[in-house]
Amino acid sequence: MSAPARSALPCYTRTAQALHWLIALLIFGLFPLGLYMHGLPLSVRKLELYSWHKWFGITVLLLVVVRIAWRLTHRPPPLPDSIPRWQQAAAELMHELLYVLILFIPLSGWALSSASGIPVVWWGVLPLPNLLPANKNAAHLLALVHATLNYTLAALVVAHVAAALKHQFIDRDGVLSRMLPARRN
């Protein structure tokens, strides 16, 4: 079966595209920032970087809640029939796992900050409630959870990007173009 013409494939909505790329951009900044700041010695600069990391992390949390609500009320465009059913199922599972991780990573960071006894003040203006009481053991466990979730997300993002590039350059089926803002039906 030949691949469908790119122009025949329906696109994601502009809202879904904007949320996708904004969240992706933030994650691509937050992950290396987290790695970098973690290894710094305690200093004013390190504390500033942690604040920025938290601010952008909470922003991702809010954006992913909006993205999930949008997806629940706006069905994504169907994949081409030329894609085998097992790949369609794998793509659906990948998206669900990405949403779960993008939702729980900021929550785990917020909980880690709470358990560490360090309040989260979003953008230095809005104090957020502590999710947990201060507890050194819980903070240690949450640091491990936060790191593990992040490394898992990094691996899934690599697989997601690899699949998108495979569709673009090997299969040439137009799947990637559905999420590109420049192309509209």
**Residue 184 belongs to a domain:** no
pLDDT at 10 over 80: yes
| CA dist., res. 34 & res. 153, Å (int) | 13
Q: What is the mean pLDDT of the chain?
A: 94
| pLDDT reading at 2 higher than 50 | no
Domain that holds residue 94: 6-179
pLDDT digits (tens, 9 = 90+) for 37-68: 999 999 999 999 999 999 999 999 999 999 99
The residue-averaged pLDDT of 6-21 equals: 88
Is residue 9 very low, low, confident or very high in pLDDT (cuts 50, 70, 90)? confident
Q: Indicate if the pLDDT at residue 6 is higher than 90.
A: no
Q: How far apart are CA 166 and CA 119, in angstroms?
A: 43
The tokens of 44 are what? 């004013």
pLDDT at 68: 98
13 domain-assigned: yes
Task: Determine, yes or no, domain membership for 98.
Answer: yes
pLDDT at 4 over 90: no
What confidence tier does 154 reach under pLDDT thresholds 50, 70, 90? very high
Q: Residue 1: inside a domain, yes or no?
A: no
More confident residue, 62 or 185: 62
Task: Give dist(CA 19, CA 66) in Å, integer.
Answer: 8
Q: Is the entire prediction scored with pTM above 0.75? A: yes
User: Which tokens is 23 given?
Assistant: 């969240």
pLDDT in tens, 92-140: 999 999 999 999 999 999 999 999 999 999 999 999 999 999 999 999 9
Residue 38 lies in a domain: yes
pLDDT at 8: 67
* 185 found inside a domain: no
Q: Is the pLDDT of residue 73 over 90?
A: yes
pLDDT at 182 > cutoff 90? no
pLDDT of residue 1: 41
- Helix axis angle for 85-115 and 136-166, nearest 10°, is 150
Inside any domain, residue 145 = yes
Check which CATH number belongs to the domain holding 143 and give it: 1.20.950
**Residue 70 · residue 19 · CB < 8 Å:** yes
Residue for token pair 């992390």: 57
Kindly report the CA angle at 62 between 73 and 109, in degrees rounded to 5? 130
For the chain, the domain total comes to: 1
Report whether 106 contacts 58 (CB < 8 A). Answer: yes
92 domain-assigned: yes
